[in-house]
Structure 1
């Protein structure tokens, strides 16, 4: 995707808000908004935003897992399974 085709001044957004929202929903591409010739904001449809947030959450979980591995905070899987089985028989 080429972002250079997705740049609009803030005046365009103000004058065409409904059309911009329809475009975002239909094309699922972000739109860069400029003010005084400088990029100031990026807007996107809600579905794309939610997907991005979910992706970031998964990446954070992976990063935390990698940090635990590097810190040696792991147990062999057979020990974890044995512990789970022990808990089930206790209840």
Structure 2
């Protein structure tokens, strides 16, 4: 069973949320992943992309030099 967050209210309005550490960490990891995806989408929209064949060729050349 996943622990549910506890909403703390004041005068009938939500003021704070209390959640367990594991849920908090999972939320932070999800937010970080969403940020990476959003940044990637911005780069695609800005045209900062390269053909996959170019990337693979560059990686193979780098590996051959090592």
TM-score (normalised: structure 2):
0.89
Deviations 1:37-79 (A, max 9, x none): 3321011011111111111111111101100000000111110
Q: What 5-or-longer segments of structure 2 have no aligned partner?
A: none
1:60 matched to 2:35? The reply is: yes
In structure 2, the residue matched to 1:78 is 53
Deviations 1:1-45 (A, max 9, x none): xxxxxxxxxxxxxxxxxxxxxxxxx65111110123332101101
C-alpha distance in 2 between matches for 1:63 and 1:37: 36
C-alpha root-mean-square deviation of aligned residues, in Å? 1.4
For residue 30 of structure 2, give the secondary structure of its aligned residue in structure 1.
Answer: helix
Find the structure with the greater CA-based Rg: 1
Which portions of structure 1, spanning 4 or more consecutive aligned residues, are displaced by more than 4 angstroms?
none
Aligned residues: 66
Q: What 5-or-longer segments of structure 1 have no aligned partner?
A: 1-25
TM-score (normalised: structure 1):
0.66
2:11 aligns with one of 2, 21, 36:
36
